[in-house]
Amino acid sequence: MLTRKQHELICFISDRLNETGISPSFEEMKEALDLKSKSGVHRLISALEERGFLRRLPNRARALEVLRLPERPSAHRPAAAVVKRPAQPRPTPEPANDVVEIPLHGRIAAGVPIEALEGAQSLPVPAALLGSGEHYALEVAGDSMVDAGILDGDYALIRRTDVARDGEIVVALIEDNEATLKYFRHEGAMIRLDPANRSYDPQRYRPDQVRVQGKLSGLLRRY
């Protein structure tokens, strides 16, 4: 069962593909659905992907494929006409720079813990880099995660969550005032935060000293 906005969006995308062969941009979808931001469009697309109505084609920000359509409440348009594809081949969708603005919360240590900063800045991120859920960004400081491909100056894209499984890279808030980016593991009655650099030692804390603030979902690097 789709929400009204999800239903409107999948029908709008399908109609545009049938008319032009090219997916609408995030800006066009935002205006068509009268949404306040592109992040709302991103959440709707992610929900439609999870429900098997829509698929994002890799390496092309505007390349969307409608896998199936909900039944439209129209007595004058049979369901078969909705899913009919045009006889002419579709042109290749042109790349677009659709972005989502996510909060940028300062710098996070990839070496020793530093104070987690909260700020009012935001970071534009290509929508294709984000999955479902709420995200924020942190600038990486330090080199203790280099063997995981996380370098000093990278922007870590974090999906908000307060739970994690062993082996996942998380933002761990230590004693409510310092944050670090590390592998998360249980070790007996303790929580162990592992670096990805042999020059650094694992950090061990009691469970009451550590709170998971999110899990790494992607990286953004500027050259």
Residue positions annotated with a catalytic role: 144, 182
Output b/e per residue, 184-223; b: 16+ Cβ within 10 A. Answer: bbeeeeebbbbbbbeebeebeeeeeebbbbbbbbbbeeee
What whole-number distance in Å separates Cα of residue 216 and Cα of residue 221? 14
Is-contact 116 178, C-beta < 8 A? yes
Distance in angstroms between the alpha carbons of the first and the last residue of the chain: 44
What whole-number distance in Å separates Cα of residue 188 and Cα of residue 176? 22
